[in-house]
């Protein structure tokens, strides 16, 4: 067997069960973690000196085992045995696809927003795909629903796994002014640049707690100039509000589609817990995930600091 071919062995009561067992063995062997360390400025002290903190980023590969070949299979004493081969030279091509780019650096077909979440990548490794799960609000927290069963999502996992930032995606882009961390109570403007003429833009604000609000609904694209939200002639801007602790991380999500999308106003408001107040126009982030999936999207984090 060539050195670039990884072989997985499986057994089971049926050939399908044996192949699944061998596929799991290869998937386990191909799990790759890439770690990066860096420095990000958190704030400035009274003297104006930068106070910085270390951050660590961990990316886990998503490997789609779509090209396994049968090396050998047999049936003995009522048991099925199979050996599957995987050409690992395509591994980095697959990793490139998972990040939205092919191995040669050319742009590939963008994934939908829900498919792009780290949560979806990790669930795919265990055979649960984006269409198989929903995110729902339960008892002041968030849960994963799969086949009618409910599994709580820990608070520590929530933002890291279910929020993602990609300020530019296939021509659709988001920009926020002023840039950088914002003090609570300040105002900011959002600029949405459409990818092409025609079609419709939508813009959503998602709080760290999962409360979603439509800021722009089915705006027809008649120009390639950035759309400013809110209108600077009428409003000072969107207010940056800390909802808990020393700071908050909100997310802006823009979508473009050739046809108008269904309005979000019919969705039930998110539970006010753990927030003291909830905008009655707001709806659940779980509903938003289903609404925007399949659309071209871009997202931008807004970091808000307590005064």
- Determine the Cα–Cα distance for residues 29 and 142; give it in Å rounded to an integer: 31
Three-state SS string over 172-203 comes to EEEEEECCCCEECCCEEEEEEECCCCCCEEEE
Which domains are seen in the chain, by residue range?
A: 5-32+62-98 (3.10.28.20), 164-305 (2.60.40)
- Determine the Cα–Cα distance for residues 224 and 214; give it in Å rounded to an integer: 21
Per residue of the chain (307 residues), what is the pLDDT tens digit?
Answer: 444 577 878 899 998 888 888 887 777 666 533 333 333 333 444 555 544 433 333 333 334 455 678 888 999 888 999 888 876 554 444 444 444 443 343 334 457 899 888 888 778 776 788 888 888 877 777 888 888 888 888 877 778 888 889 999 999 999 999 988 888 889 999 999 999 999 999 999 988 878 888 899 999 999 999 999 988 888 888 888 876 666 778 899 999 999 998 754 444 444 444 443 444 555 788 889 988 888 999 999 998 887 6
- Determine the Cα–Cα distance for residues 278 and 7; give it in Å rounded to an integer: 54
pLDDT of 66 reads 55
Provide the 3-class DSSP secondary structure of residue 166: strand
pLDDT of 281 reads 55
pLDDT of 63 reads 42
pLDDT of 282 reads 58
Which structure tokens are listed for 107? 């742009």
- Determine the Cα–Cα distance for residues 55 and 72; give it in Å rounded to an integer: 47
- Determine the Cα–Cα distance for residues 67 and 256; give it in Å rounded to an integer: 33
Buried b / exposed e along 243-265 (16+ C-beta atoms within 10 A): beeebbebbbbbbbbeeeeeebe
- Determine the Cα–Cα distance for residues 82 and 70; give it in Å rounded to an integer: 7
Strand order in the sheet with 79-87: 5-12, 79-87, 69-76
pLDDT of 127 reads 76
Which of 132, 229, 212, 135 has its CA nearest to residue 177?
A: 229
Contact 270, 285 (CB under 8 A): yes
Q: Residue 166, CB half-sphere, CA atoms under 13 Å: how many?
A: 20
pLDDT of 81 reads 92
Contact 71, 84 (CB under 8 A): yes
């Amino acid at each position: 067997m060539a050195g670039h071919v990884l072989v997985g062995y499986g057994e089971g009561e049926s050939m399908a069960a044996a192949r699944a067992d061998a596929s799991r063995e290869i998937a386990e062997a191909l799990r790759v973690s890439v770690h990066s360390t860096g420095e990000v400025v958190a704030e400035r002290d009274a003297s104006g000196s930068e106070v910085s903190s270390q951050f660590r980023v961990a990316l886990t590969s998503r490997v789609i085992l779509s090209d396994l070949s049968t090396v050998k299979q047999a049936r003995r004493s009522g048991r099925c045995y199979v050996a599957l081969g995987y050409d690992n030279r395509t591994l980095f091509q697959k990793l490139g696809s998972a990040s939205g780019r092919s191995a040669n650096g050319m742009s590939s077909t963008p994934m939908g927003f829900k498919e792009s979440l780290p949560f979806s990548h990790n669930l795919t490794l265990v055979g649960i795909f984006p269409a198989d799960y929903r995110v729902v609000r339960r008892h002041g927290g968030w849960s994963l629903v799969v086949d009618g069963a409910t599994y709580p999502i820990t608070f520590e996992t929530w933002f890291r796994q279910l929020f993602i930032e990609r300020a530019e995606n296939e021509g659709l882009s988001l920009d926020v002014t002023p840039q950088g961390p914002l003090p609570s109570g300040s105002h900011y403007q959002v600029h949405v640049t459409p990818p092409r003429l025609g079609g419709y833009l939508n813009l959503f604000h998602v709080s760290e707690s999962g409360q979603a609000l439509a800021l722009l609904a089915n705006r027809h694209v008649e120009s390639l100039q950035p759309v400013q939200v809110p209108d600077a002639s009428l409003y000072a801007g969107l207010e940056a509000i800390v909802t808990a602790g020393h700071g908050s991380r909100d997310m802006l999500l823009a979508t473009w589609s050739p046809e108008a999308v269904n309005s979000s106003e019919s969705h039930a408001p998110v539970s006010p817990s753990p927030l003291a107040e909830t905008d009655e126009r707001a709806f659940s982030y779980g509903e938003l995930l289903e609404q925007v999936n399949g659309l071209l999207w871009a997202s931008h984090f807004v970091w808000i600091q307590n005064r």
